Chain A
Amino acid sequence: MKYTLMKKSIPITASGGVFFINKMNKTKNLKIRPIKKKGQLFSLDLVASVVIFIILFAFIISLWNLYSTRLSENIYSEELQLLSFQITDLLVKSQGEPTNWENNPENVSVIGLKLNPNYLDSNKINAFLTLDYNLTKELFNIERFDFNFKILDLNGNTISETGLSSPETNSYIISNKRLVIIQNETRQISFTLWKEQN
């Protein structure tokens, strides 16, 4: 309840609240105009400021959580990216262990396809393409992920591939392509690594 002070009013305290007595009427008709007895617990400006504060705070917290999620996604894709680079590097730049592993693919320790720098051995490629999918994942230490390996011509047509077909949506997916020479022909190799989102 709003109240206004009358001019020349003087406050007096009496049981039950504060009253204002008009000086002019002091001697004649004593008019006492009571203000609201109940205390005003929440003034409007306080309530408004608290509400704004809470809304802003909730907004900041939700923004924080959003960025935390983005950070963990980023960390995850960074790991995928690094593994993908390391694996393609291993395939293109090493001969594998043992170096003639293509003769006995079941006993391979490290998969490598190199014949000469930037040249890939077609026998090793064939052995790699026929290698068990789970064994390949175990050797590359990517059991948590799925992969696809493709050899493409320069127009992007697939010549041969191994692994699962990569999902188009709804997953963390990293694809790595590089140019190599196989039997004197320039080819692209593509290694795709992904993890399905739960």
Chain B
Amino acid sequence: MKHYKNKFLCKSKKAQVGLEAIVSVSLILFLFLGAYLIYYDKNADIIKSEQELNERAECFQLANLINNIYTLGDNTEITTKISQNMTIEPGNQRIYSEKSYCTFPLKMVSQNSTLNFDAFTLQEGNVSITNENGLVIVNNV
């Protein structure tokens, strides 16, 4: 075997990975990186949608109960549970949660026995909905 003065001039005995393999692996890595980024984005969308849908379902439930309590007449009462804070705007006939909202076709909603159309917030937990002389009173228990 030829002796080189400088050992770096000597061809390495180790296996040489071909350019083709490097390019192929890089390409596959880039593809998977792109796929992962898309997955990450879609996963974030799913989590957001799931939260919105849950909030929306709860909002619809509350709106339905308010409507039903009104149509069932005086002295009807029901207690329900909400898992997040909700703001009711009787003037706009809307219920807001953190990331969602829903509407109801009724203006006669208040936090107390006076109808003033002021917005009020319900804390998470038990909520009582009562019909008093045609006015639906919604409040935390």
Contact = CB atoms under 8 A, between A and B. Distances in A.
B105 A86 contact: yes
Given A39-B19, A40-B20, A89-B68, A110 B107 contact: yes
Interface in B49-94: 49, 53, 56, 60, 63-64, 67-68, 70-72, 92-94
A79 B107 contact: no
**Interface SS, A side:** helix
A140 B106 CA distance: 7
Interface residues of A, number: 34
B55 to A, nearest CB: 12
A64 B39 CA distance: 11
Interface residues of B, number: 35
Interface in A21-58: 39-43, 46, 50, 53-54, 57
Contacts of A53: 31
Nearest to A46: B24
Given A93-B71, A94-B70, A141 B105 contact: yes
Interface string A84-103: 00110110011001010000
A39 to B, nearest CB: 5
A123 to B, nearest CB: 19
A86 B20 contact: no
Given A90-B106, A140-B105, A61 B38 contact: yes
A42 B23 CA distance: 8
Nearest to B60: A82
A163 B86 CA distance: 33
B99 interface: no
Contacts of A71: 49
A39 B67 contact: no
A142 B104 CA distance: 9
B108 A110 contact: yes
A75 interface: yes
Contacts of A75: 53, 56
Nearest to B135: A97
Contacts of B19: 39, 41
A39 B105 contact: no
Given A75-B53, A142-B105, A86 B31 contact: no
Interface of A: 13, 39-43, 46, 50, 53-54, 57, 61, 64, 68, 71, 75, 78-79, 82-83, 86-87, 89-90, 93-94, 97, 99, 109-110, 139-142
Interface of B: 11, 18-20, 23-24, 27-28, 31, 35, 38, 42, 45, 49, 53, 56, 60, 63-64, 67-68, 70-72, 92-94, 102-108, 134
19 contacts: A39-B20, A41-B19, A41-B20, A43-B20, A46-B24, A50-B31, A64-B42, A83-B103, A89-B67, A90-B70, A90-B71, A90-B106, A93-B72, A94-B71, A109-B107, A110-B106, A110-B108, A141-B94, A142-B105
